[in-house]
Copies of this chain bind each other. A is one copy, B any other.
Amino acid sequence: MNDENVPLGVPLGLPFCWCSAMFVIFPEPIFAMTYCVATMIDAGFVFASDSRTNAGVDNISTFRKMKIFEQPGERVLMIVNSGNLAVTQATINHLEQAIRRNTEPHLMSVQSMYDVAELIGASLREVRHRDGPFLMENNIDSGANFIVGGQIAGEAQRLFMIYAEGNFIEAMPEVPYFQIGEVKYGKPIIDRVIAAGTSLDDAIKCVLVSFDSTMRSNLTVGLPIDLACYERDTLRLSHSRRFDENDSYMHTLSQSWNEGVRRAFAQLPNFEWN
């Protein structure tokens, strides 16, 4: 409500670009003001990302923000991203090119998830180093974030978040998830539900409810949602699926959740003044 004085949906670092969009026909940079969440529980991973991108509210598109790298029986890597779409796409392209050309080290050759996080960070730095100064000239943010989780044979499953600067942190048992993008609306339910011992079924439900809350409150996060699920130590992707506007499970979930929350509210004791 108190954002009325701020041009809606426009990254705050982009005053010039916003002006140009009003008066000139320049393509605006596409920002994934997205929502991604990745949970690592004892049972495995649940990753989800929306696919809404926007370059101003008059230009909303759908791009996949989830990427899976898999060598069944040997490794599974799950990646989601947010930020400047040109930067995230270029980063992923660099990583894929290294695999295709077999330029070591690459995502399918390194021996640990730590190395995987380092490769993504290095690739992101390279892209930002190359493109950042040109974007800066027009006050355009080249920032991007990645979450990567997965398992490589011989190692435990691990989850990392890579900052826009290319450095990264690893998830801990106390906080077994990362979010990027529009994180606040969907955080409370994750905090209430997700713990190391949560089942994959519950984690899937929780992640989808978290998306439901986020989409209700922020138009720039929207269906379809990409969801992927990995069962620990299987070393192959268990399931992946896209939930679109017509998905009957998402409709049921959204409605049941709304009714359940309202019922929980109705059962709260009134406050007595006296």
**Which residues of A does B touch, CB under 8 Å?**
1-2, 4-5, 145, 161, 163-165, 167, 169, 175, 177-180, 183-185, 187-189, 191-193, 201-202, 204-206, 208-209, 213, 216-217, 229, 239, 241, 249, 252-253, 256-265, 267-271, 273
Contacts and interface: CB of A to CB of B under 8 A. Distances in A.
Given A163-B4, A271-B249, A263 B265 contact: no
Contacts of A187: 185, 217
Contacts of A163: 2, 4-5
A30 to B, nearest CB: 20
Interface centre among A189, A258, A265, by most chain B C-beta atoms within 10 angstroms, is: A265
A269 B253 contact: yes
Given A209-B268, A260-B264, 15 more contacts: A1-B179, A2-B161, A2-B180, A5-B163, A189-B261, A191-B216, A192-B261, A201-B270, A201-B271, A249-B269, A253-B269, A253-B271, A256-B268, A260-B263, A261-B261
A114 to B, nearest CB: 17
A57 B16 CA distance: 34
Contacts of A270: 201, 204-205
Given A165-B5, A188-B217, A268 B264 contact: no
